[in-house]
């Protein structure tokens, strides 16, 4: 019987294991970050009838007010000769939880209409709970003063609050048409501070906007936002980190390193950048360098799941299962729902010849994720070398090869099970598939060919 460690391999994790900074917006004192995370703060989608009713009532009161693209086109004519201007988007907070949001919108519109008449501005409808406005010749600071005054005026009319995002022209390479969109990004930034907030468009707004592109799978769109964010603020640590993640996802590891190391230079105790740098070196298979960065990150914060599991994985790559054990066990404690962590625990215990513990770990991984091919194949392999549960072992190894047919190790293990059951032709087919996929199965192919030849 071969050594039990012969066929233990821990697969490389995907480059989706980077730590991603979703925002670096500071939370106001006493606030709950969970409540103002973009996913938690995202507004419910209004029903079509509600949108139509709210906008219709506004148009009844203000017949000349424009909506959407018509508003933007008219606004571009309005600011055509302006060398500079400010724009704002003002939104009712938690409109879906207001008994009569149309009434609040009417109050907001009346206040904004009065303000625009006073300062020669222009306003329009962005959507059912938001209004936009343009102020030619006004700076961002002056715009904030006006919006703060509008909010104060509104507070005397109703108990509901509004939040606002501000943006100015000129800014970077943005043309005039995009400034209202920038104000909208600032408004999403304001959501991180809770109701009744006002935020000016900046690099953090672009980091948040880039994250949305990233979450939607548009890496190029995300990178465009992050590059613009760094143009606004070259020293923004989280934007460097975010851009580095995108380069890493695209497989441009050298550029990813440049961004992560820039973040580390700006903030030597920034754990995300420290971990991500180590993870790039892990992907480059420079394991000792990766380990150095992971251990530095651990000294900053040892409670990060990704850090624990990847440090353990590196020790496995370095064939140091005893050192890996500490980190993999920590990973299962930090995230007891992680099938990957328990699968790696199984690998670690197998290498330490703790077969019973390894079997338990693989079983736990399969309870958490029945489609975990690595755990299926490894558990089938352990049953096989213990000469028990023969049919289950074969079933597990077949299932693993079916889930991940491009994994040569899985086919190799399956071939060994067939060979031990005197199914030489099936074994030969599995070993040949394994070799095609890069697994060193030549010795077993020779054994299977010899048996097949003798049977013919």
Is the pLDDT confidence value at 25 over 50?
no
CATH topology of domain 302-360: 1.25.40
For the chain, give every domain's residue range. Answer: 33-201, 302-360, 371-456
Is the pLDDT confidence value at 12 over 80?
no
Residue (of 319, 327, 370, 368) closest to 345 by Cα position: 327
DSSP 105-124: HHHHHHHHHHHHHHHT-EEE
What is 33-201's CATH number?
3.30.70.270
CA triplet 452, 8, 309: central angle to 5 degrees? 155
Question: What's the whole-number mean pLDDT along residues 326-335?
Answer: 97
Q: Residue 167 — pLDDT band, cuts 50, 70, 90?
A: very high
**What mean pLDDT value characterizes the chain?**
89
Contact 196, 212 (CB under 8 A): no
The Cα 85–Cα 143 span in angstroms is 9
Q: Residue 24 — pLDDT band, cuts 50, 70, 90?
A: very low
CATH 1.25.40.10 fits 371-456, yes or no: yes
Q: What is the pLDDT of residues 335-345, one digit of tens each?
A: 999 999 999 99
Question: What's the whole-number mean pLDDT along residues 153-181?
Answer: 96
The Cα 387–Cα 408 span in angstroms is 23
The Cα 306–Cα 334 span in angstroms is 9
Q: Residue 259 — pLDDT band, cuts 50, 70, 90?
A: very high
Question: What's the whole-number mean pLDDT along residues 327-334?
Answer: 97
pTM listed for this prediction: 0.85
| pLDDT score, position 54 | 77
Number of H helices, E strands in the chain: 22, 5
Domains 302-360 and 371-456 fall in the same CATH topology: yes
Q: Residue 1 — pLDDT band, cuts 50, 70, 90?
A: very low
Is the pLDDT confidence value at 437 over 90?
yes
Question: What share of residues in the chain are helix, strand, coil (percent, to 5)?
Answer: 65, 5, 30
Task: Supply the Cα-derived Rg of the chain in whole angstroms.
Answer: 30
90 membership: H or E segment, kind and range:
strand 85-92
| pLDDT score, position 221 | 97
| pLDDT score, position 7 | 55
Contact 211, 231 (CB under 8 A): no
Is the pLDDT confidence value at 452 over 60?
yes
| pLDDT score, position 456 | 67
Q: Residue 26 — pLDDT band, cuts 50, 70, 90?
A: very low
89 membership: H or E segment, kind and range:
strand 85-92
CA distance readout (Å), 107 to 32, 43, 56, 71, 114: 30, 21, 15, 20, 11
Question: What's the whole-number mean pLDDT along residues 330-337?
Answer: 97
| pLDDT score, position 406 | 95
Q: Would you state the structure tokens that stand for residue 177, as one six-digit string? A: 């048409």
Q: Is 158 or 15 the better-scoring residue by pLDDT?
A: 158
Is the pLDDT confidence value at 48 over 50?
no
CA distance readout (Å), 437 to 224, 395, 426: 38, 21, 17
Question: What's the whole-number mean pLDDT along residues 183-196?
Answer: 96
| pLDDT score, position 22 | 52
Question: What's the whole-number mean pLDDT along residues 113-124?
Answer: 96
Q: Residue 39 — pLDDT band, cuts 50, 70, 90?
A: very low
Question: What's the whole-number mean pLDDT along residues 31-58?
Answer: 49
Q: What is the pLDDT of residues 278-327, one digit of tens each?
A: 999 999 999 999 999 999 999 999 999 999 999 999 999 999 999 999 99
Is the pLDDT confidence value at 171 over 90?
yes
Question: What's the whole-number mean pLDDT along residues 58-83?
Answer: 95
Q: Residue 226 — pLDDT band, cuts 50, 70, 90?
A: very high
Pairing of strands 130-136, 162-169: unpaired
169 membership: H or E segment, kind and range:
strand 162-169
Least confidently predicted of 52-56, 180-184, 258-262, 450-454: 52-56
| pLDDT score, position 8 | 59
The Cα 207–Cα 243 span in angstroms is 9
Sign of CA dihedral 27, 203, 128, 57: positive
Q: What is the pLDDT of residues 121-155, one digit of tens each?
A: 999 999 989 999 999 999 999 999 999 999 999 99
| pLDDT score, position 454 | 86
Any alpha helices (H) in 130-178, and if so which ranges?
140-155
Q: Residue 98 — pLDDT band, cuts 50, 70, 90?
A: confident
Is the pLDDT confidence value at 10 over 70?
no
Question: What's the whole-number mean pLDDT along residues 180-184?
Answer: 98
Is the pLDDT confidence value at 30 over 80?
no
């Amino acid at each position: 019987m071969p050594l039990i460690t012969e066929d233990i391999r821990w697969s490389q994790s995907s480059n989706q294991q980077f730590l991603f900074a979703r925002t670096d917006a500071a939370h106001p004192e006493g606030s709950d970050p969970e409540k103002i995370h973009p996913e938690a703060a995202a507004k419910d989608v209004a029903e079509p009838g509600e949108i139509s009713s709210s906008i219709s009532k506004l148009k009844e009161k203000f017949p000349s007010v424009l909506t959407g693209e018509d508003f933007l086109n008219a606004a571009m004519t309005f600011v055509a000769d302006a060398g500079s201007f400010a724009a704002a988007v003002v939104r009712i907070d938690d409109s879906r939880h207001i008994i009569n949001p149309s009434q609040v919108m009417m109050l907001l519109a009346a206040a904004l209409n009065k303000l625009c008449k006073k300062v020669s501005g222009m306003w329009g409808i962005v959507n059912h709970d938001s209004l936009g406005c343009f102020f030619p010749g006004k700076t961002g600071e002056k715009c904030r003063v006006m919006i703060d005054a509008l909010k104060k005026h509104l507070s005397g009319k109703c108990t509901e609050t509004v939040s606002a995002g501000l943006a100015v022209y000129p800014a970077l390479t943005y043309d005039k048409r995009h400034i209202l969109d920038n104000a909208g990004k600032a408004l999403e930034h304001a959501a991180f501070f809770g109701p009744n907030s006002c935020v000016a468009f900046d690099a953090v707004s672009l980091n948040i906007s880039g994250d949305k592109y990233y979450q939607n799978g548009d890496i190029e769109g995300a990178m465009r936002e992050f590059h613009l964010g760094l143009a606004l603020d070259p020293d923004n640590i989280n934007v460097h980190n975010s851009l580095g993640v995108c380069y890493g996802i695209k497989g441009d590891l050298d550029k990813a390193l440049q961004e992560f190391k820039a973040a580390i230079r700006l903030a030597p105790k920034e754990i995300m950048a420290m971990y991500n740098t180590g993870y790039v070196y892990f992907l480059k298979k420079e394991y000792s360098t990766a380990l150095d960065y992971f251990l530095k990150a651990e000294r900053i914060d040892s409670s990060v799941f990704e850090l624990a599991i990847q440090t353990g994985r590196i020790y496995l790559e370095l064939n140091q299962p005893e050192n890996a054990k500490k980190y993999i066990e920590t990973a299962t404690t930090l995230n007891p729902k992680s099938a990957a962590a328990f699968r790696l625990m199984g690998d670690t215990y197998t290498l330490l010849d703790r077969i019973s513990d390894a079997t338990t770990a693989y079983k736990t991984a399969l309870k958490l994720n029945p489609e975990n091919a690595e755990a299926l194949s490894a558990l089938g392999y352990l049953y096989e070398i213990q000469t028990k549960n023969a049919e289950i072992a074969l079933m597990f190894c077949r299932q693993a090869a079916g889930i991940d047919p491009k994994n040569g190790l899985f086919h190799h293990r399956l071939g060994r099970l067939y060979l031990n059951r005197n199914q030489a032709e099936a074994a030969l087919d599995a070993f040949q598939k394994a070799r095609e996929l890069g697994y060193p199965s030549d010795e077993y192919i020779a054994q299977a060919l010899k048996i097949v030849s003798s049977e013919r």
